[in-house]
Amino acid sequence: MHGQGVSKGLCYAKVHVLEDKPIQFPTEYASAQAEEKKFRDALADVLSETEEMKERALCTVGKEAAEILDAHCSLLKDEGMLDPISESIQDGTNAAQSVENAMNTFIEMFEGMENEYMAQRALDLKDIKDRLIRRILHIKKDDLSNLSEMMILAGEDIAPSITAGMDTEHLAGMLMELGGVTSHTAILARTLDVPAVVGASGLMNEIKTGDMIAFDGETGEIMINPTSEEVKQFQESMKKQKEEKEKLKLFSMRRAETKDHQQLNVCGNIGGTDDLKKVMEYGADGVGLFRSEFLFLVSASLPTEEQQLAAYKTVLEEIKDKPVIVRTLDIGGDKEVKALGLKKEENPFLGLRAIRLCQAKPEVFHTQLRALLRASVYGNLQIMFPMISSLQELRWAKEQLEYCKKQLEEEQIPYKQNIKVGIMIEIPATAVMARQFAAECDFFSIGTNDLTQYTLAVDRGNDDVAGLYSYFHPAVLRMIEMAIEGAHAQGIPCGMCGEAAGNAYMLPILIGLGLDEYSMTASSILELKQAASRIDTAECKELAARVMRLGTWDEVRTELEKFVAERN
């Protein structure tokens, strides 16, 4: 079978399948008062249990998983979600069925969102719904707190409430029939560094508890009850992988540099304070992208200035004097953050998002800018504006920053005076005018995910056209080249914080084009350092000159794969 690999690694172990038998809903209805009491008692129990799980998760599976459970607590207190349940009870539907009906409405809304991160939150709502109904009907679920041996955990969906109380010491890997790269299971697997595959359609019809399973958390390949010969080959691969991991660890103590000793500036992308640990452990030179929107997505209400300040301060103090580039709010119409009151858009990726949203809601932008300015005194903070498509937008954003500086001065609140300000290069219009933008910026950072999407007019989330999406496309490479050349013409550095920055095949051409900074997820840092140590700068420049003359992305990819293979 095949699914989507979301956490690298090879795994071979016995599987424990989470049974998810259909719930038999009662038809009887006591009274509005009695049914409301059942619902409210269950709500109080589930909320209390979730708060306990959150505290336990901090100690067992890390802060990121705890933050997901904290978001569950917020939802369990959200009257906007609870009121429809009570209204249904008052209309004569029993408590369990009312929870089912009302929450399915919210679940369908999230499942219909184009943004994958928000669509995956539907799985979190299903978890809350399931727990409320089971508590009302007194139905228990599997206890995984004390596994007897190393096990692969498999299910249609592995809910946060299950993983929070799980015996992680005996967790060999995770398999899911549903889910995507931003699902709770994917996040947890990467945090725990265990292999995981999600989106394995039909998985639950093919496996049962006790089956032996081998799978690859990178390719998504799954083998059920493999033959002895297949097991032997797989275990050989696992042994080689373990040896390779041990070699990679050596690079955590070194700065990234090429074979001819040219040092590379390699940084980490983070979505919150808990991501920082691995970035530091792997010897990153700083944080090249702090996605501040995660502060908005995990809360039922807008984060206050103090809450944002606390998050930025924590990262700056932890990383000491190394640079931290914080991207200001990058939320759009496809992410239905209730507190922002965004309307549904026909084409959200071309609509009210990022800096455009900040222009529409300057008070939200000002709160964030004030928090960032106040945090600047705790370290080497840099501010980056996303989705800039015109000089007018850049100038407006810088004016708002100056406005907030004056506010703080009047209030006698300290901040650093010379904070570097840059922009994301993720719209073709900006890459084309890179030289003009560079004259008014301190740095660039190329966001290849959106730059590729907008350059090629391909929605990478659409399966029908996803095969046309590639940052190896010659047109995308030319956009990258224009951004770098424009930055250097004005004497400012140009980095990259998109997915391409951590790709070992892209590395030679990026070195050849003169990229100044490479920022990526923590899991890619050591592999990139290793890849850099095998290549020579002069050879990379010759390669870049050849590749930029090619006409198709297949030709580009083939040339780069050949170059890397010869040096491995």
Distance (Å, whole) CA 355 – CA 421: 14
Three-state DSSP class for residue 78: coil
Scored b (16 or more CB within 10 A) or e, 353-381 reads bbbbbbeebeebbbbbbbbbbbbbebbbb
Three-state DSSP class for residue 66: helix
Torsion sign (Cα): 178, 181, 185, 186: positive
Asked about 497 being catalytic, the answer comes back as yes
- Nearest-10 crossing angle of helices 448-456, 474-489: 120
Bridge partners, 270 (sequence order): 290
Catalytic residue among 11, 404, 497, 540: 497
Distance (Å, whole) CA 195 – CA 207: 18
CA torsion angle 478 293 280 314 (round to 10) = 140
Distance (Å, whole) CA 237 – CA 231: 10
Catalytic residue among 72, 184, 404, 473: 184
Distance (Å, whole) CA 387 – CA 327: 10
CA torsion angle 190 278 416 371 (round to 10) = 30
Give the helix ranges, DSSP H, for 490-552. 507-513, 522-532, 537-547
Tell the residue number behind the tokens 């083939």, with chain if given.
558
Q: What are phi and psi of 291, to 5 degrees?
A: -80, 95
Contact 493, 442 (CB under 8 A): no
Distance (Å, whole) CA 447 – CA 433: 16
Asked about 473 being catalytic, the answer comes back as no
Q: What does the block give as tokens for 346?
A: 């026909």
Three-state DSSP class for residue 208: coil
Q: Which residues belong to the active site?
A: 184, 497
